[in-house]
Amino acid sequence: FPPHPVFGSKNVVIEWSRQLTELRECAKKIGKKGVPTIIGEIGIPYDLNEKEAFTNGDWSVQVSAMESVMQALDMSLLSATLWNYTPDNTN
């Protein structure tokens, strides 16, 4: 984790990418040839902003959050399985 807070959505994406890249690089050091890397169950919760989207139908915050996650994965050249946290889930 970074030694200091990260501010701004662009900087958060860059930091996530840095951390994911670090995981990828660690996997390269396992054994003689490294091991394949896939990030399992990455995603976002849909109940952001105190569940406002459930009442007003504006899911733009969730879309933006998911775009940030996917950008960090792309920048890290990694694959992942998507955590499907459906909007009707209440736990």
Q: Where are the extended beta strands (E) located within 1-90?
A: 38-42, 79-82
Residue 30: phi, psi to the nearest 5? -85, 125
How does pLDDT run across 21-75, given as a tens digit for each residue? 999 999 999 999 999 999 988 888 888 899 899 899 999 999 999 999 999 999 9
pTM: 0.80
pLDDT band at 80 (very low <50, low <70, confident <90, very high): very high
pLDDT band at 16 (very low <50, low <70, confident <90, very high): very high
**Catalytic site positions:** 41
